[in-house]
Amino acid sequence: MRENLRIGVAGVGFWGKNHIRVLRELGVSVEAICDIDRERAESMASYFGVKKFYTDLREMLREEDLHAVTICTPSSTHAECAIMALESGLDVFVEKPLAFTVEECLRIIDSMKSNNKIVMTGFIERFNPAVSKAIQLLEMGEIGEVIMSHGRRIGWWPQRIGDVGVVKDTAIHDIDLVRFIFKQDPIQVYAKGGSQRHHLDDHVQAILTLDDESKVAFIEANWLTPRKKREMHITGSDGVLSIRFLTQEVSLEKADMAIEPIIKQDEPLKLELRHFVECVKKREKPLADAIDGLKAVAIAEAILESMKWNKIIDIDLENLI
């Protein structure tokens, strides 16, 4: 087991700086950081007390003796950065989406296998304490047989995003949660959406049919609504379970009762990166691995295809690899 991990962070903008902060809070040695913006890289290194900074990832990987790297660069660069790190013998954490396309995800997985390394996809909501509580209640049968879910992620366009639309940036959280919560894969999707104010898709409404065809998941996401909301409502034969992601709250409504269980709150990113660190140390499969990342991108691409052609799209996740 590796006790003292040496980690590098690639991309230290909006989200990457949080990686540096959290890893340091976890007692992990952030040996070096990299960003194509030299001024930003130097500033973050100075602010967090990181010894070395680079503007070229290949140089950082060549010069530094690292165990792992976390990748927080733009989505279109994820595959190149991840494969570069894997071929340098490092384990890799990649913020969602795992890659820009299904083909790029498959290249990452091939490199992961050939180099016998760990790849974790950054699906942070899996580590939200409210999600953990909701799954516990579902497994206890509190709302009976699950019938459908409605995920809603709305708000203004995040200016940090420039290379993917709302489906692959925002809705992908609920795409992954549908698989995680239902423990099934979708087999069909019908979606409506488009580009209202931005050059990429900025609103989507999608209906996913699950594997047993008796369950459906509705996903709504946009970058058009003034107030930010992140919520999911799960309907069962005996009640409704609601998750409010931002406040880490869960409510359970049944015919004879309505309760809000007490949840011990924690920072999801801290729980997520702690899990990655433990997986690297113990050589264990992450809760959200590269296959989860691949499947989410495949579903997202099916949603975009449905939006484009205005028709139902079949999803075959079994034959992706």
Give pLDDT tens digits for 214-256.
899 999 999 999 999 999 999 999 999 999 999 999 999 999 9
Task: Look at the block and give the residue holding tokens 């931005």.
Answer: 198
**267 contacts 22 by C-beta, under 8 angstroms:** yes
pLDDT score for 61: 98
Question: What gap in Å lies between CA 168 and CA 150, rounded to an integer?
Answer: 18
Q: What pLDDT, in 10s, does the model give residues 193-221?
A: 999 988 899 999 999 999 888 899 999 99
- Does the pTM exceed 0.75? yes
Cα 321 from Cα 34, distance rounded (Å): 32
Tell me how far apart the alpha carbons of residues 206 and 2 are, in angstroms, rounded to a whole number: 43
Question: Which pLDDT belongs to residue 115?
Answer: 98
Which helix (H) or strand (E) segment is 298 a member of? helix 290-309
Q: What is the pLDDT of residues 27-45, one digit of tens each?
A: 999 999 999 999 999 999 9
On the question of pLDDT at 3 being above 70, the answer is no
pLDDT band at 160 (very low <50, low <70, confident <90, very high): low
The mean pLDDT of 292-310, rounded to a whole number, is 98
Return the closest-CA partner of residue 166 out of 312, 311, 304, 308: 304
Mean pLDDT, residues 274-280 taken together: 98
* Structural domains of the chain, ranges and CATH numbers in brackets: 6-124+270-289 (3.40.50.720), 125-263+299-314 (3.30.360.10)
Mean pLDDT of the chain: 96
Per-residue pLDDT tens digits for 68-86: 999 999 999 999 999 999 9
Residue-level pLDDT at 229: 96
